[in-house]
Amino acid sequence: MHQVTLIPGDGIGPEVIEAAKNVIEAAGVQIDWDIVNAGADVYENEGVLIPERVFESIEKNKIALKGPITTPIGCGFQSINVLLRKKYDLFSNVRPVKTIPGINVPFQHVDLVIFRENTEDLYMGLEKKISEDAAEAVKRITKKGSTRIIRAAFDYADKNNKTKVAVVHKANIMKLTDGLFLQCAREIAEEYPHIHLQEVIIDNMCMQLVMHPSQFEVIVTTNLYGDILSDLCAGLVGGLGVVPGANIGENMAVFEAVHGSAPVIAGKNMANPTAVILSGAMMLDYLGEREKSQVISQAVTETIRQGKYLTKDLGGSASTTDMTKAIIENML
């Protein structure tokens, strides 16, 4: 029996998390879920964004499946998502992006994994107002932070028979910060002579990805570029509704979709559950339940290939619950 913290989140979070929980249980994995929540809804009732029981549960179980949580723009709320990643040093944000046959997209052979550094860069929250009309933010890049994410990307490439890793940077302009990240990539690449290091400047990367995405296998980059590239790559394979993700640290991991709380479709039983279900499959893989993880991934692929129960974002008219039921039926 695995012990897992389950954080439903807000917006579409509770709907898609329920879908993932049902699919995982239908696959026959024994999980004792510890359900705790955080976010604006909790704040309204309890006056705190993250109750202590959320931290206690994550620290006890060391693994969580999490729904998206809204971060209101420009007011006093800090991002809970960023806070959790920083507090638990979940430095590796892993986002596999793969074409699923049956989704109508311009490219049919996208199969890459983004490794986004998760704790540094402009996301450190070190911003200040320097006059009435100006503000500035700190972009911090360290050798430790860079090395560990780049090594995670090369290790993944090595274990999964990938032939190349692309490091994405803007070292031509930000010579000290992105320059350090690039230098770390060059040094680590020397330890993996069988893996080719592609050095790609972020703006060129955006163009290459929307023209020839299948030239990339593994991408490693800093926090902000990784955030943006993740959404761009999600667009290549059918949108945010289908791309899973994981935040992994030394001995702790939080699994969550790339997408946010999608307030416009929240509470309407319209959200695509695929991204969170596939995040759940990644979690099972991490827990050593490789076979069940594959069963779930295959059932998702089969449901999309059949094309009968697809949510609106994929061109269908099925509800979240209908698509989830179809996935479960394809698993049995």
Strand arrangement of the beta sheet that strand 253-255 belongs to? 31-35, 2-7, 63-66, 253-255, 246-248, 92-98, 111-117, 218-221, 164-169, 196-201
Q: What is the dihedral of CA 29, 30, 34, 37, to 10 degrees?
A: 20
* Nearest distance from C-beta of residue 256 to ligand NAD, angstroms: 5
- Least spacing, CB of residue 272 vs ligand NAD, in Å: 3
* Count, residues in the chain: 332
Residue type, 17: I
Residue 266 to residue 200: CA distance in whole angstroms: 37
Q: Between residues 167 and 314, which has the closer beta carbon with respect to ligand NAD?
A: 314
Q: Which C-beta is closer to ligand NAD: that of 103 or that of 262?
A: 262
- Measured CA to CA, the distance from residue 268 to residue 14 in angstroms comes to 12
Q: Which is nearer to ligand NAD, 26 or 277 (CB)?
A: 277
d(C-alpha 251, C-alpha 253), whole Å: 7
Q: Cβ of residue 122: shortest distance to ligand NAD, in angstroms?
A: 15
Q: What are phi and psi of 98, to 5 degrees?
A: -140, 135
Between CA 327 and CA 133 the distance in angstroms is: 53
Q: How far is CA 197 from CA 113, 179, 230, in A?
A: 15, 15, 20
Closest separation in Å from C-beta 304 to ligand NAD:
13
Nearest residue (CB) to ligand NAD, 134 versus 264: 264
**Nearest approach, Cβ of residue 232 and ligand NAD (Å):** 13
Least Å distance, CB 104 to ligand NAD, is 15
Residues 6+ apart with CB under 8 A from 122: 137, 138, 139, 223, 224
- Compare residues 70 and 297 and give the one whose CB is closer to ligand NAD: 70
CA-wise closest residue to 261 among 37, 47, 23: 37
CB of 15 to ligand NAD, least distance (A): 9
Residues making contact with ligand NAD (CB under 6 A): 12, 16, 68-71, 81, 240-241, 256, 259-262, 264-265, 271-272, 275, 313
Give the residue with the Cβ less far from ligand NAD, 118 or 293.
Answer: 118
Give me the residue whose beta carbon is nearest to ligand NAD: 260
* Nearer residue to ligand NAD within complex by CB, 167 or 266: 266
Number of CB atoms found within 10 A of residue 288's CB? 10
198 versus 230: smaller Cβ distance to ligand NAD: 230
Taking the complex as a whole, the smallest distance from the CB of residue 246 to ligand NAD amounts, in Å, to: 12
